[in-house]
Each structure stands twice: as structure tokens, then as C-alpha cells.
Amino acid sequence: MKNTFSILCLLLCLSMVSAARAELVDDTISDSENADFSQKRTAASIPEDPENNAQTLDALFSINQPYLKNLSAYRPMYFLVGADPEESKFQFSIKYRIFSLDTPEPEEYRWKQNLYIAYTQTSFWNLQASSQPFDDTSYKPEFFFLTRNFYFKKPSGSRLFFQTGYQHESNGQGEELSRSTNTLYVQPIYVFFHSRTRLGFMIAPRLMAYIINDNDNNQDLSDYRGYADFEIKAGRADRLTLGTHIRPAKKGASVEVNLTYPLDKILSNKLNIYIQAQYVNALAESLMNYTKRTRAVRLGFAIVR
């Protein structure tokens, strides 16, 4: 009986508190609405701070990386499975602008803003073998200078750039399996782009000189790779693009053809990758087997083409 009486008293107290609270809310609701309206006007007049409103880990990460805007893609990046799985291949490539574009520079020092370091890694993956080993990987750090546009003609949108630099390439192996080379190169890059139709064309012949070559294991690499790489690319920016590399050499010519198409035009507008087909008939595609001619058809995906 005593417990029942205590429970009734507690319920009565709660009812009184609830009623008092309801009256307080009714009295202040108009003031609250006015306050909310005032706050909304204030928020609308003050721009939001993106750092305070970061909702993803990437956004928070970028706050601590002020130089991240200097990082960008360099060569194509893809993962391709060969018609013969032994010939599968993938590539990763980035470049980094050393000096910021945001810092004002006198005219005579602006050339520094065109200096880059880059890294490209190309791996040949044997997916046929039970252990799925990498048959060879080329590691290619690079330092280069890339000019701004020298020429622009309306309405065609022709542009001309020049790139020159130094590239080291090795397969990371030791002793008799070691392969390495160093090249100095110069590369004019002509680009035509029509903004209305989004059709474009690029030709970029690279002329190379071999220096400090590995004379023990690949002293005749230039006979198989040659001294020039003619890159040609044509297509529509948001549709099909065809790219080729042609390398004449003493031991025979090499060719690589790449066809890419954005998958968001086929499956979903949220799927931001390309489907890629590659045909290769080339000597020295890899450093390890540079005397071997590779004939391969590959199909896969790319994020940079």
C-alpha cells in the first residue's frame, strides 16, 4: 500500500512539472521563432567556413595538406587483364609541382613554377600462375620542366607546350636480374581542342638520349627501344578516345594502341571510371625481357587515360 501511494505521488509531481513546462514553451515560442529567423539571416550573411563544416575524412585530411593541390595525375593509370592472363598489366603515375602558383613571382623567376617531380610505376602481373607473381616492375622517378602554352589560336584552340627532363628507370632487382637506364629527353606537345564539340587531338614526339646505362645487363637497350616515342591521341573529351605510342628502333618498330570510353555513358552517371582496351606489339615493353617482343591484347579499367 505504501509503495502504491509513493508511485501515485511521483506521477502527480511529474504531471505538474510537464504542465509547467508546456506553459513555458507556449510563452517563449514566438521569441524562439524570432531568434531562429535572426540566426538564419546572420548565417546567410556570413560565409561558411569549409574547415568547420568538413564532414568526410578526406576533407579533414586536406586541411592538414596545404600542398595537396600541387599533386596531379601524370601518365595513364589503369589495370588491364590480358587475353592471356600471363600478360596482365597495371600502371600508376603522379606528378608534383615543386613551387606554388599562389605565390607572386617576378617575371624572371616564374620559370620555377614549371618544375615538377614525377613517379610512374608499371607492373607486369602473371595472373595465370598459381602464386600470381609480378614478372617485372619498372620504377620510373622523373624530374622535368614543362612550359606554359606558347601558342593559342582562336577559334580552333591550338596550343603548344615543351617538356624536357631526366628519367631514371629500373626494375629494382640485383646482380644478373638488374635492369636500369637513365634518359634525358625533350618533348614538344601540340594540342588541338575545340571547346564547342569537345573534339581534340594531340601529338607529342619524345626524343631521348641514353646516359649512364647499365652496361652489364642491358647495354644495348636503345637498339630495342629506340630514341623516339611518338605519342598520338585523338577523340572526344567526354566520349571515345584513341591513343597510340610508336617507337622505331634498330631491332624493329613497336606500337601500343589504347582505346578508352567512360563507363558512366553506358551504365551509371555515378560510375567515374573508363573501360580500356589495349593492343601491344612491342620490343622492350618491360626491362627484364627487353629483347623479347610482346604481343598482347588486354582489357580492363582506367581512372586516367
Cβ atoms of 218 and 224 within 8 Å: the answer is no
- Tell me if 130 is assigned to some domain: yes
pLDDT digits (tens, 9 = 90+) for 237-276: 999 999 999 999 999 999 999 999 999 988 877 889 999 9
- Tell me if 28 is assigned to some domain: no
Could you give the CA distance from residue 23 to residue 17 in angstroms, rounded to a whole number? 10
- Return the exposure string of 94-131: e unless at least 16 CB atoms fall within 10 Å of the residue's CB, then b: bbebebeeeeeeeeeeeeebbebebebbbbbbbeeeee
Q: Name the CA radius of gyration of the chain, rounded.
A: 31
- Tell me if 35 is assigned to some domain: no
- Return the exposure string of 204-229: e unless at least 16 CB atoms fall within 10 Å of the residue's CB, then b: bebebeeeebeeebbeebbebbbbeb
The pLDDT score that the predictor gives to residue 13 is 47
Could you give the CA distance from residue 229 to residue 226 in angstroms, rounded to a whole number? 8
Cβ atoms of 115 and 145 within 8 Å: the answer is yes
- Tell me if 26 is assigned to some domain: no
pTM to 2 decimal places:
0.79
Per-residue cell: 236: 572526344
Query: Grid cell 552517371 — which residue?
Result: 269
pLDDT digits (tens, 9 = 90+) for 127-140: 988 888 899 999 99
pLDDT digits (tens, 9 = 90+) for 145-154: 999 888 776 6
Per-residue cell: 76: 595513364
Cβ atoms of 121 and 91 within 8 Å: the answer is yes
The pLDDT score that the predictor gives to residue 38 is 47
Q: What is the CATH number of the domain that holds 80?
A: 2.40.230.10
| Measured CA distances, 97 to 71, 76, 118, 224, 248 (Å) | 7, 18, 9, 32, 32
Total domains, the chain: 1
The pLDDT score that the predictor gives to residue 3 is 45
Residue 60 has pLDDT above 90, yes or no: no
- Tell me if 45 is assigned to some domain: no
Please compute the mean of the pLDDT values over residues 6-32 and round it to a whole number: 45
- Tell me if 195 is assigned to some domain: yes
Cβ atoms of 137 and 124 within 8 Å: the answer is yes
- Tell me if 149 is assigned to some domain: yes
Q: Residue 6 CA to chain centroid, in angstroms?
A: 71
Q: List the domain range (segments joined by +) for residue 175.
A: 69-304
- Tell me if 16 is assigned to some domain: no
